[in-house]
Amino acid sequence: MQINGTQIDDTFAEAFPMKATRLVITAHTPAWARAAAQSLSGFATSVIDCGCEAGIEREIDAADTPDGRPGIAVLMFAVSSKELAKQIMRRVGQCVLTCPTTAVYSGIDPHTSRAPLSDLAPLGGALRFFGDGWQIAKMLGETRYWRVPVMDGEFVCEESAVTVKAVGGGNLLLLARDIDHALAAAQAAVAAMHQLPNVITPFPGGVVRSGSKIGSKYAGAVASTNDPFCPTLVGVAKRTELTAEVGCVLEIVIDGLTDADVGAAMTAGIAAASRAGSGVLRISAGNYGGKLGPYHFHLRELAASIGAAGGASASPAPGASLGPQAGSGTAGLARGSGGDTP
């Protein structure tokens, strides 16, 4: 199968179950909300060695945030509920609590979530102790918030973050003639994916050059370079997936709140990358023969939904989840108002 002259390999991307949450970070200005979000999602590219995978999902208008201020939605993914809870507490405590003017809220509504609910992770319930006894609880409806005194006023934080079952490890491999064509295609694909809700591409700029395989010749290394896709090893390695004209391969990894979200993002990425120019020779994906995870995204099935090879733009597949959205039921949460003592 070809789309816009780009060959779509007859293979599949293999993804695996994860646990995830959405946090909504608000601040006095969009710049400070983004500063906190970028800090929180730093060093969060791969669960192999980072503890979690995290990234900015989207900006949120002030009219749609819990406290009526500019906001940023961040998605965080981990391999277990315990690890996710640990990463939430550490990253919010070190990167959001410390950032001027910020507040943080759970961004998944348990009543409307289309992703299966997993658990509640401590948020303000753990961070409140920074207040050294001066912290104050406030109930709005059924939700508890904490107000922690800090040097610029108060840090407002929701008691808990709703977590859901999620999907990690969806991926595309873009095989191009050279680095310029590969980068152009990868950036176009990432930009298209970022138009969709409920997904992130956690690596720098959304793109991975160091695609990996499981295991290594060296003891203790859990992953190593994906040598069948390394252009400099053609003719040297025992096996290669490349032809002579392929000069560069880049990967995009996608995490999503549901498998439908990951499939929609991959479809959008295929469409965008295939339109990026004749230098994109093939689009492939990484898998481990079905042994790594239960979610298999077959590229030709995704590509078939894009439309004719003339360049129809991609859209989410029918039934794709719009996903849990940040609620606005706590609008008007006022700093300095009364509340229950802890």
324 located within any domain:
no
pLDDT of 336 reads 37
R_g (Cα) of the chain, nearest Å: 21
CA atoms of 77 and 47, how far apart (whole Å): 8
DSSP designation for 340: B
CA 103 to CA 310: how far, in whole Å? 47
In this structure, the answer to whether residues 44 and 8 fall within a common structural domain is no
- 3 state SS of 174: strand
Q: CA 47 to CA 51: how far, in whole Å?
A: 5
CA distance 20 to 165: 6
| Residue 308 burial class via C-beta count within 10 angstroms: exposed 0-12, middle 13-18, buried 19 and up | exposed
Do 139 and 176 have their domain in common? no
Residue 116: predicted pLDDT: 83
Q: Which of 222, 239, 218 lies closest to 230, judged by CA?
A: 239
The confidence score (pLDDT) of residue 117 equals 83
One domain for residues 119 and 172: no
Q: Which of 148, 164, 180 is a domain's end point? A: 164
Q: Residue 137 and residue 152: Cα distance in Å, rounded? A: 19
Residues 6+ apart with CB under 8 A from 325: 107, 109, 112, 197
Say if residue 287 is in the same domain as residue 218. yes
Q: What is the pLDDT of residue 277?
A: 85
Say what the pLDDT of residue 201 is: 98
Identify whether residues 155 and 185 lie together within a single domain.
no
Does 159 share its domain with 205? Answer: no
pLDDT tens per residue across span 116-158: 888 899 999 999 999 999 999 999 999 999 999 999 999 999 9
Is 325 contained in some domain?
no
In a domain, 333, yes or no: no
Integer Cα distance of 84 and 4 in angstroms:
41
Supply the pLDDT for residue 325.
37
Asked, for residue 59, whether it belongs to a domain, the answer is yes
- Confirm whether 221 is domain-assigned: yes
The span from the CA of 173 to the CA of 175, in Å, is 6
Number of domains in the chain: 2
| Chosen domain end from 107, 140, 164 | 164
Which backbone phi and psi does 177 adopt, to 5 degrees?
A: -70, -35
CB 146 within 8 A of CB 134: no
User: Residue 59: what residue type?
Assistant: E
Contacts for 93 with CB less than 8 Å, ≥ 6 apart: 126, 127, 130
The pTM (predicted TM-score) of the whole model is: 0.88
The answer to whether 296 and 13 are in contact (CB under 8 A) is: yes
Q: Is residue 75 part of a domain?
A: yes
Phi-psi region of 336 (alpha: psi -120 to 50; beta: other; left: phi over 0): left
DSSP, residue by residue, 175-232: EESSHHHHHHHHHHHHHHHTTSTTEE--SGGG-BSS-EEE--SSTT-SEEE-GGG-GG
Residues 10 and 23 in one domain: no
Please answer whether residues 116 and 260 qualify as being in contact, where contact means their C-beta atoms are separated by less than 8 angstroms: no
Range of the domain at 158: 18-164
Residue finishing a domain among 164, 191, 219? 164
- On whether both 66 and 80 belong to a single domain, the answer is yes
For residue 314, tell me if it sits in a domain: no
The CATH number that applies at residue 62 is 3.30.70.520
Residues 178 and 291 in one domain: yes
160 and 23 assigned to the same domain:
yes
Question: pLDDT tens track of the chain, all 342 residues?
Answer: 999 889 999 999 999 999 999 999 999 999 999 999 999 999 999 999 999 999 999 999 999 999 999 999 999 999 999 999 999 999 999 999 999 999 999 999 988 888 888 889 999 999 999 999 999 999 999 999 999 999 999 999 999 999 999 999 999 999 999 999 999 999 999 999 999 999 999 999 999 999 998 889 999 898 899 999 999 999 999 999 999 999 999 999 999 999 999 999 999 999 999 999 889 999 999 998 888 899 999 999 999 999 643 444 333 333 333 333 333 333 334 333 334 444
Same domain, 159 and 245: no
Note whether residue 252 is domain-resident. yes
Residues 155, 223 within the same domain: no
